Structure 1
Amino acid sequence: MYKNSVNAIILSVALVVCAFLFSNAFQNRNKSSDTISVTGLGKTDFISDLIVWSGSFSRKSTTLKEAYASLDADREKIKKYFSGKGIAAKDVVFSAVDFNKNFETTYNENGTIRQNLFTGFTLSQRVTIQSKEVNKIEELSRQSSELINSGIEFYSNAPEYYYTKLAELKVQMIAEATKDASTRAQSIADNANADLGKLKKSDMGVFQIIAQNSSEDYSYGGSFNTNSKNKTATITVKLVYQVE
């Protein structure tokens, strides 16, 4: 009988402890769930302050020496042309020369190759301008057909636009997004007759840059538009507050 009494006492204590632990866990669960989760937005329009424009030119000849001589002559014409447009020499960079051997392939009636006849060389070179004079280089890219009219086989690429103060802009936008999220959280708490407690968690969303007034899609990994001079940047910040 003594043994049964001891077992009964132990069981009673165990039940009390389990009840206490369950009650405490339940209270903590409810406490942890009393939170407000909000997302704030930081958004700003800006104009690019750096432009990168590039193009390429090429020459063909039956001999490598003649092809190099022709390409050198074109390079000097391009330098002179840019200088005449007020472009600083330090902003103009020429790449190394690429060359390819050209062959003309003939085939037999059954489709097999009869012979590869060497026809000469093609030499090409790329020129890139990087400048903060965005409007000037932008206009120059539109006038590049003048180089073609001068006898140069010049192929122009679309300009790329960048912003050199992007790091500072991002910091400002994070602050704006955080303030926006905090204001939203306070508004929710006020309307729910609750007090906003401590900040429990914060997460920063993806930084996006798209063209202004465009239907350009946002990317999961972040967009970075370089095709437009006028851009819109956005970033989100998610905050989780305790509610008291």
Structure 2
Amino acid sequence: MQSKAATILGFSLILGLAALGFLVQQMAVKFKEYERVVNVKGLAEQEVAADTVIWPIQFTVADNQLGSLFETLEQQSGLITAFLQQGGVEASAISRAAPNVIDKKAQQYGEGDRAEFRYIASQTLTVYSKDVAKIRGLISAIGQLGRQGIVFNQDPYQNRVEYSFTALNELKPQMIEEATKQAREVALKFAQDSQSQLGKIKTASQGQFSISDRDANTPHIKKVRVVTTVEYYLSD
């Protein structure tokens, strides 16, 4: 009886171990299926018009007398301000920086007594506006003040007009949806080509939004861009 019981127990253990091995094997196969993934990226781009402009207007005056130098600065600053206000720019949108005055005779390595004018002064008026179209029109027309003796500094680096786009939050949901949809289309194509089925999302990450000029000649047109990265499971 004891021998028979031992035989039955041993046979049962063998069957149990075989069943356990089969289950472990099936789980391993299933686990490996879940490890098959495809990593894709989706891109969304959109062109938008800038909604804010910062326009620095710098002009220069030269004279041999400080008194008349500052009088000319004040006069020309008034002419520029009047031009802007006549063009529809409110006074609150115009700020004036302190003038920068250079004394040629006070410079150790300057032209000294050979300079035609002892004093050279520059002043900058800055316009901050949300009406980009209006300011662009004024930028094109301000050159006519040169007929009244105003000398503008046209340095493209120090006096560069800056355009920006501030309504990014309004575009984010739509662009993220577009980028994610594009990523899924790429993943579906990959799955079809590899004779697989596209499963659920394993991981997803959103890249940073970037805003840049469309090109060097149209800085008032901005290109908004975002890239999303999505990882999908694949199955047979």
TM-score (structure 2 length as normaliser): 0.72
CA distance 1:196–1:101, shift in 2 (3 Å) = same
Task: State yes or no: 1:133 paired with 2:131.
Answer: yes
Find the aligned partners of 1:236 and 1:147 in 2 and give their Cα distance: 47
Which residue matches 2:119? 121
Given candidates 182, 194, 197, the residue that maps to 2:196 is: 194
2:72 matched residue in structure 1: 70
The residue aligned with 1:178 is 180
Could you tell me how far 1:159 is from its partner in structure 2? 3.3
Post-superposition offset of 1:36: 0.8
* Structure 1 residue matching 2:41: 3-state secondary structure: strand
Q: Secondary structure at the match of 2:190?
A: helix
Percent pairwise identity:
26
Cα gap change, 1:28 to 1:193, in 2 (>3 Å): closer
Return 5+ residue gaps in structure 2 as ranges. 1-20
| 8 Å contact from structure 1 (residues 161, 227) kept in 2 | no
* 1:233 and 2:230 matched: no
CA offset at residue 73 of structure 1?
A: 1.3
Question: Aligned equivalents of 2:218 and 2:128: distance in 1?
Answer: 15
1:243 matched to 2:226: no
How far off is 1:38 after superposition? Answer: 0.9
Change beyond 3 A, Cα 1:122–1:105: closer
- Counterpart residue number, 1:43: 45
Q: Do the aligned residues in 1 keep the contact of 2:57 with 2:125 (CA within 8 Å)?
A: yes
Match of 1:83 among 59, 82, 85: 85
Q: Where does the alignment leave 5 or more consecutive residues of structure 1 unmatched?
A: 1-19, 107-112, 217-225
What is the rounded CA distance, in whole Å, between the counterparts of 1:105 and 1:95 in structure 2?
Answer: 23
- C-alpha distance in 2 between matches for 1:121 and 1:28: 84
What is the distance in 1 between the residues matched to 2:170 and 2:138?
30
Offset of residue 165 of structure 1: 0.5
1:152 aligns with 2:150: yes
Tell me how far apart the structure 1 counterparts of residues 107 and 59 of structure 2 sit (CA, whole Å): 25
CA deviations 1:65-101 (Å, max 9, x no partner) are: 3222211111111111212222211111112221222
What letter matches 1:172 in structure 2? Q
Output one character per residue of 1:192-228: Cα deviation in whole Å (capped at 9) or x when no partner: 443333322223345344444x5x7xxxxxxxxx952
Q: Deviations over 1:100-137 (max 9, x none)?
A: 2214989xxxxxx8x94485222211111122222221
Q: Which structure has more strand as a fraction of its residues?
A: 1
Aligned residues: 205
Match of 2:170 in 1: 168
Superposed CA RMSD in Å reads 3.4
| SS of residue matched to 1:144 | helix
Report the Cα distance in structure 2 between the residues aligned to 1:158 and 1:141, rounded to whole angstroms. 12
